Structure 1
């Protein structure tokens, strides 16, 4: 079969994907689909992938295959049509480039990927013509990437949102779920009302029963429409913004910031999740990753529902790494405290791919996509990560779907990278996202990619871009046809500089420096 050959692995997958999307089901299977939909009635459902490789120990496949919400309203014929389309798209997702790259990296490219489906009733509550849970999120029973000294990684962590959990499992543009360390639930990775306002959830994912589709609404619109919500538990009033709006003649609009502080401090929510995570970890005999919802029942009590559980592929907590303190500033590329994921490491670097933030913001939309594809081509030039350990530095979020927020690469375009750095840049919305618990996070963990977020204007952060810019740009030596982007995409060979990255997760310190 051509797909199992080295030459045809990716190429033939495109044709296979197309054929799956155009495929039909036999009559007896359609009859079973009909009976199942009759069982669910008009309750919203979600169709999830459930393959043998995906559900086995050792391979999380986080986000590699699709899941689809079916709002499940309308005529039986329309409901069936949308369900069948979801099934085809899930089967076709086995031929996505990211999924193929993942299987190749994990030595699974010669295995038959046998796909099954899991159809679940969506956990939530009817609110006007919407349907969604009060709280949803992701939980990890072990958090090897604590962001503050003193936090216990074995206590686990949560990533929670208001509404459907899609905003917790994915990196969502201009939105930040609440990150919760279960041993210190009220400790935040930022401080002050301005940061709380900025680094919080601004939109809500829900199912629109009238339109029969998945929908995202702004939090302000949800509040303005009078949709029932326990805002007293999940948010605080933003009096400052409300006053500004009143002064501007926009009276009558309440503004809230979703902090979840009251939920975390005055209910048994964190205690229930802690017990659930530890019980599941005990049964699996391995750290676990869960998806959950929480809704208030008729008696007003919070009820937590477990939606999914799988082994969490963690590298564990490595031995403490000694951070050199007396390196001259001129030999230091980065020195900072916190804002990194990947545990304690001591890593040599051979190459740096640097996307100049100022130059990137001036590019057109299509040019930003060109830069992402260019990074992918540079990634493909790396035969073995061990022989050419490479770091990519770029503005905002790597892997975003919105180029204004960062560089829109796919995971397959950074799969051979050793270190990813996201740089906060003051122009535009180029802000990193410490994405603990997302599918992007799982990709980094499973492929052993170290992550850091760099905030150059913060205290205790030293980022020496002048050191980089003093080196020659090797882009045209590697890809001679890419001259038009040589001012924005810079490739530095740092082998002669003996560049080293050292991080200490216990003391939350990091340095990248030249040892020669």
Structure 2
């Protein structure tokens, strides 16, 4: 009928407009901006590293005709505008904020100064024109000149804020302005300063562009989140069993991506063999080692407040609770049937829920693993480097779960960790007679000899309910060592840098900036796989910090705790000890992924 024909014409016109907007960077003009421009720049300055990566992805989607290549998947980047670095310079100058570069101010004081300042009026008018085309939540992300370079990714160092949609556009404009100024302020936070110093750059040279983009996801009551968020790496640094390093690896989670990049429990998938997921190999393992909490965006406007914590309006909710309200649970979860001792797809029966994404990886509702594997391969070939990508997936509302939008959020080059070296693990074993730590899963290269100190949390001092107190103690020790010009080897249980305190000690990179090697070990009942998708992991490995994983209970590696206890203790806190070792030496054989620490 006429109505259907009209809808057909409008859909095709819109599809045409979207196709001509792909693959290009358009100049933003407030009087002519349309919502089918995928990527627009506001200003004449630099896009910054992260935005360049997004523009690159947008170009690849068009160049390789990826948008509709895979049945049931619509591939694109989120609709994005980039406020180039010249707005940052103008904001700093017009508000007289140059003094912040050298001032001894706390992060909260810096944030207060920036938020109280005023954005340039012409920038505000551009933002107002953009908001007129938006009715969904927005992510406000950093894109500094130094971000996502080959050797200094600055992953997670600067802030990202999420703004819920507000019916009153003037109010939303104010909230968006606060978020942009907060991202600007994060350039000068303590963690950023420390990272810039450690990477050999100067704070005065850093410039900040800002990405404003729509968030992939759907509204569920007062919450907003995508079906899946994830990180993919073209090189699997820790292949298990029949996996190959060249297969790559995906770490995916239900809900927002904070679960993945901050070291929460994720599903680990080999993109070439997505039906063979080790965590799902038996029901007991599936219940123990899969995701049980997720992050969602709180849509109530009052939840968004100015804070150094950029996750101020994100809530952590139990997966089981969210699944009861989710409209496509068969894509996300399986249920443990105790009577048959097996996993059943969906949540149609009573039992423990397990985030398995069986509907996608086992039953091929759409070819997500294949698409991501090919996209990573394309990026690797184009960049001539191993890569890491961030992505989100959400079902198309009108498709009954048979189609989904795949949004590519970021790409960055990463070190392969494979190459020439002059010594082997056998050479190191012949030199180091007293072996304290052996690892079969390590990243890094060569000898580490500058440290004579080991900062360790021993198994008897570990309490999974007090990991936040441990993080504070580690941070205080690190500050003293940094002030004294000392470095150390860090050793502790679980996952360093996890945002979920029960999985490990929730330090940030700033809290361990003087560490030269980082060792994670498993203890009975507390075994955590190395997480390759976290910002923490990306930063420490890119800065040349050795990364070792030891799990004696799984027969992987060794730590001689008795020998550690006999070493000279120069400081003892409530949880951590600092041990002094003359001739302390670490070695990582990056071609074999093995490491040794001793003296």
1:163 aligns with 2:263: no
**1:446 equivalenced with 2:542 (yes/no):** yes
Where in structure 2 are the equivalents of 1:63-462 lying within 5 Å? Answer: 63-143=156-236, 145-148=237-240, 151-172=243-264, 176-185=265-274, 186-188=276-278, 192-209=282-299, 214-225=314-325, 227-231=326-330, 233-240=331-338, 254-267=351-364, 268-297=367-396, 298-299=398-399, 300-317=402-419, 321-323=424-426, 331-337=434-440, 340-342=441-443, 345-348=446-449, 350-361=452-463, 368=470, 370-380=472-482, 383=485, 390-401=488-499, 405-426=503-524, 431-432=527-528, 434-462=530-558
2:332 and 2:356 in contact (8 A); partners too: yes
Partner residue, 1:34: 128
Tell me if the contact between 1:352 and 1:493 (Cα under 8 Å) persists in the aligned partners. yes
CA-to-aligned-CA distance 1:153-199 (integer Å, 9 cap, x gap): 33322111112222122223xxx111223344325379643332222
Structure 2's unaligned 5+ residue stretches are 1-97, 304-312, 342-347
**What TM-score, normalized to structure 1?**
0.80
Distance 1:466 1:11, change over 3 A: same
- 263 and 366 in structure 1: CA distance in 2 versus 1, 3 angstrom threshold: closer
Say which SS state the counterpart of residue 519 (structure 2) adopts.
Answer: strand
* TM-aligned CA deviation for residue 23 of structure 1: 1.5
8 Å Cα contact 2:152-2:539 kept in structure 1: no
Q: Secondary structure of 1:24's partner?
A: coil
- CA distance in structure 2 between the partners assigned to 1:315 and 1:471 by the alignment: 32
Q: 1:310 to 1:206 in 2, by over 3 A?
A: same
In structure 1, runs of 5+ residues without a counterpart are 244-250, 476-484
Deviations 1:88-139 (A, max 9, x none): 2111111121211111122221543222221111112344554322222112
- Other structure's SS at 1:207 match: strand
Q: 1:269–1:302: 8 Å Cα contact kept in structure 2?
A: no
- Over aligned residues, Cα RMSD in angstroms? 3.6
CA contact (8 A) 1:368 1:403 kept: no
Distance 2:466 2:318 in 1: 27
Q: 3-state DSSP class of the match of 1:73?
A: coil
Cα pair distance change 1:58/1:471, threshold 3 Å: closer
Checking the alignment, whether the CA contact within 8 Å between 2:232 and 2:389 is kept in structure 1 is: yes
Matched, 1:464 2:560: yes
Match of 2:580 among 474, 493, 499: 493
> Residues 404-451 of structure 1, C-alpha deviation per residue, up to 9 Å, x if partnerless?
654343312312312112233448xx6545120210111112111222
Q: Give, in angstroms, the shift of residue 68 of structure 1.
A: 1.3
Residues 241, 255 of structure 1: 8 Å contact kept:
no
Q: CA deviation at 1:285?
A: 2.7
Structure 1 residues 10 and 62: CA distance shift in structure 2, 3 A: farther
SS of the aligned residue for 1:95 comes to coil
